[in-house]
Amino acid sequence: MKQTAAAAPEKHKYAVAKVSEIAPGSHKLVEAGGRSIGVYNVGGQFYALRNICPHQGAELCKGLTKPLVVSSGPGHFAYEREGEIVRCPWHQWEFDIKTGCMIVDPATRTMSYEVTVEMFGVSVEEGSVIVRM
């Protein structure tokens, strides 16, 4: 008996905002496909994150958008990647808006698990921001 792989379900397109509604450095919370989504404009590129923190279910996209704080040693720090990190409002878990991955200090040794926020494809078509999911 020959088995065939099931076709991947077709993604739906949702026009969630006009480009002009989400200025660089800002974001907008929208509903699409029954899900709450945060649509971010980072330097003119659009990204969409599911509005749920995988830690304990907080509305992640209601958290602050911050730069990444880096350190070269005790007492020394700098800010990088302005507007690319969202911080969960409950427990301050931080996520990269561009990848959905959790920001982790690689020098910290503790049990770790892969943590990402569900992301969706985003494009601009005829002046509207389109989310595919």
- Looking at residue 90, its pLDDT comes to 96
> Average pLDDT of the chain?
82
- pLDDT for 67-88, tens place per residue? 988 899 999 999 999 999 999 9
pLDDT tops 50 at residue 109: no
Residue with tokens 């990444």: 68
| Cβ-based neighbours of 9, under 8 Å, separated by 6 or more | none
- For residue 117, pLDDT over 70 is answered with no
pLDDT digits (tens, 9 = 90+) for 14-39: 888 888 999 999 999 999 889 899 99
**Environment class of 48 (CB within 10 Å of its CB; exposed 0-12, middle 13-18, buried 19+):** buried
CATH superfamily of 13-132: Rieske [2Fe-2S] iron-sulphur domain (2.102.10.10)
pLDDT value, residue 131: 85
In order of 23, 53, 93, 102, the CA distances from 115 in angstroms are: 28, 10, 11, 6
pLDDT at 114: 40
Q: Which sequence spans correspond to the domains of the chain?
A: 13-132
What pLDDT was estimated at residue 115? 39
Q: Residue 86: what are its φ and ψ, rounded to 5°?
A: -110, 135
- The DSSP-derived string for 6-27 is PPPPPPPEEEEEEGGGS-TT-E
pLDDT at 13: 84
